[in-house]
Structure 1
Amino acid sequence: MSLLWIAVIAASVLSFVQKWIGYQAPQDVLEGPRISRITTLLPIALLGALVATQTAVSGAEIVLDARLAGLAAGVVLLLLRAPFLAVVVGAAVVAAALRALGWA
């Protein structure tokens, strides 16, 4: 068995154990004000990190290309309270137009 498969199996077991430990936590600990605030804000932080990573990183380097302009267009459309579908399509159109003009 290769080292890669050992790492995959170990990560799977650790993930299972972590989830199991989460189920064993007492309810009063999970309902505390600090934990409640953290669990409310954690998905927002993770989504923001994912968007930033997918927008500004290519491989191992930071790049500024049409994806960043598309994200900026999406933010402007969100601030204008456009429907979500319009935000997605608008951001895609801006990114595609800039790529078509040669700004990859």
Structure 2
Amino acid sequence: MSNSVPVAPALAAMLALAGGTFLLRLSGPALRARVTFPQRAEKLLEVSAVVLLAALAATSALTEGADFAGVARPAGVLVGGVLAWRKAPFLLVVLAAAGTAALLRLAGVP
């Protein structure tokens, strides 16, 4: 017995999802001139995006699965964050963050 998905329904589903994605992305610029938000709501939306990204970064930096990730990973993220804040080149930020975590792990720090 084969577990493969029939090609025609899978292709139709892919095309439907691609079309829906395209229409959603197109609706933003198309509706931007027609839909207005109060100034306070726009400010809250901007701040909420930053808070969401910060929460995602903190969760990724501090946890691995359901457990604490150890000290090496947050230290690497901290080094990368400081370099990014100081407007260092992106490649340097990534290499310094990865290098910090790698050297700490090599030294036996979890």
CA distance in 1, matches of 2:35, 2:86: 41
Q: Which residue of 2 aligns with 1:95?
A: 101
Choose from 17, 21, 27 the match for 2:35: 27
Alignment of 1:1-104 (within 5 A): 27-28=35-36, 31-104=37-110
Normalised TM-score (structure 2): 0.60
Counterpart-to-counterpart distance in 2, 1:80 and 1:34: 30
Structure 2 residues not aligned, in runs of 5+: 1-23, 29-33
Larger radius of gyration: 2
Corresponding residue pairs, total? 79
More helix by share: 1
Shift of 1:63: 4.4
TM norm structure 1:
0.63
Deviations 1:23-64 (A, max 9, x none): 9xx823xx2112211221222111100110011113323343
The amino acid across from 2:35 in the alignment is Q
Q: What is the identity, as a one-letter code, of the residue corresponding to 1:84?
A: F
**Per-residue deviation at 1:79?**
3.5
Counterpart CA distance in 1 for 2:80 and 2:58 is 13
Give the counterpart letter for 1:82 in structure 2.
Answer: A
> Structure 1 segments of 4 or more deviating over 3 A?
61-64
SS class of match (2:70) = coil
Structure 1: any 5+ residue segments left out of the alignment? Answer: 1-18
Give the % identical residues: 37
